[in-house]
Amino acid sequence: MSPVLDIRDLHLSFKGYGGLSEVLHGISLRIEQGQKVALVGESGSGKSVTARIVLGLLQETRTARIRGAVEFDGRDIGAMSARQRAALRGTEMSMIFQDPTSSLNPTFTIGRQFREVLGRRDPGIGRAASDARATQMLAEVSIPDPARVLAAYPFQLSGGMNQRVMIAMALANRPKLLLADEPGTALDVSVQAQTLHLMRELVDDHGTSVLFISHNLGVVREFADRLYVIYRGRIVEEGPAAAIFADPRHAYTRALMDAVPRITGGGLPDVPEVSEDFLAPLIRHEEDAA
């Protein structure tokens, strides 16, 4: 079976007033059916632009130069027309953003927004059918009173509730791939923990593949099967999440791990902000049975 997402030697540069500047220096990344893959890096590492390329959004930007292959479910995204790429979004791939409240439209009810989402796959869907499906999805994300939520506007719901609604909407069309860009970073820690847990159960049930983009190693550890660590547009370490957490081998990955303060104490780590070693070549962990 072909992988759900296969990125090979992807380069990206932006044309500015000062000439070309390269942002991605040839990254490769694979997501198999049902796999939850995390792309971990700091701001400016290139993780978010990678997501925008997969979603086919950056291809529309005039100043972006993209080189390399991005295959979604065996189809080359780069060779598609803008229209074909748009047709994929919201149907076969969907997205969850940082701030749930601002990514929902404040002027429509949740029910209406659900109908719009479901209508992308099934344009003739009626109100009754849409509400029924939405109710079922909201129940799956443990929303106790779906009817009330469907009639509500986003600003009438809490941030955590909106995040669940976003998850339900993102999975409503049974996408093959879910892109989650720092989901829940805008939420309180306890709410974030709950929604991540919920999201994980749901994608496992549905067999959805996930590209999880985050800077937070703790969150990634609880969510992902596989890890790609990205630093300044290069993947520096990849492998099964458990293997990397047990034995981080790249200097940058190690620095990232060390820099996270521990709730068991131990003081503040002495980690360099930048180092020559961070530019060392990619380290791949063996695919072991574990």
- Which residue ranges make up the site for other proteins (CB under 8 A)? 17, 42-43, 188-190, 192-193, 215-219, 221-222, 245, 255-274
Nearer to other proteins, 28 or 194 (CB): 194
Q: Which C-beta is closer to other proteins: that of 115 or that of 234?
A: 234
For residue 263, give every residue at least 6 positions away whose Cβ sits within 8 Å of its Cβ, in sequence order, or none.
Answer: none
Decide whether 72 or 97 has the Cβ nearer to other proteins.
97
If the CB atoms of residues 132 and 260 are measured against other proteins, the closer one turns out to be 260
Q: Smallest distance from the beta carbon of 16 to other proteins, in angstroms?
A: 10
If the CB atoms of residues 137 and 255 are measured against other proteins, the closer one turns out to be: 255
How many Å apart are CA 70 and CA 30, to the nearest integer? Answer: 10
Instruction: Give the residue with the Cβ less far from other proteins, 74 or 261.
Output: 261
The three state secondary structure string of the chain is: CCCCEEEEEEEEEEEECCEEEEEEEEEEEEECCCCEEEEECCCCCCHHHHHHHHCCCHHHCCCEEEEEEEEECCEEHHHCCHHHHHHHECCCEEEECCCHHHHCCCCCCHHHHHHHHHHHHCCCCCHHHHHHHHHHHHHHCCCCCHHHHHHCCHHHCCHHHHHHHHHHHHHHCCCCEEEEECCCCCCCHHHHHHHHHHHHHHHHHHCCEEEEEECCHHHHHHHCCEEEEEECCEEEEEEEHHHHHHCCCCHHHHHHHHHCCCCCCCCCCCCCCCCHHHHCCCEECCCCCC
Tell the smallest beta-carbon distance from residue 186 to other proteins (Å). 10
Q: Least distance (Å) from other proteins to the CB of residue 203?
A: 18
Q: Which is nearer to other proteins, 66 or 193 (CB)?
A: 193
CB-neighbour burial class of residue 89 (10 A; exposed 0-12, middle 13-18, buried 19+): middle
CB neighbour class for 3 (10 Å; exposed up to 12, middle 13-18, buried from 19): middle
Give the nearest distance from C-beta 43 to other proteins in angstroms.
Answer: 6
Shortest distance (Å) from residue 196 CB to other proteins:
8
CB of 84 to other proteins, least distance (A): 32
Q: Minimum CB separation from other proteins for residue 217, in Å?
A: 5
CB of 114 to other proteins, least distance (A): 27
- For other proteins, give the closer residue by CB, 205 or 222: 222
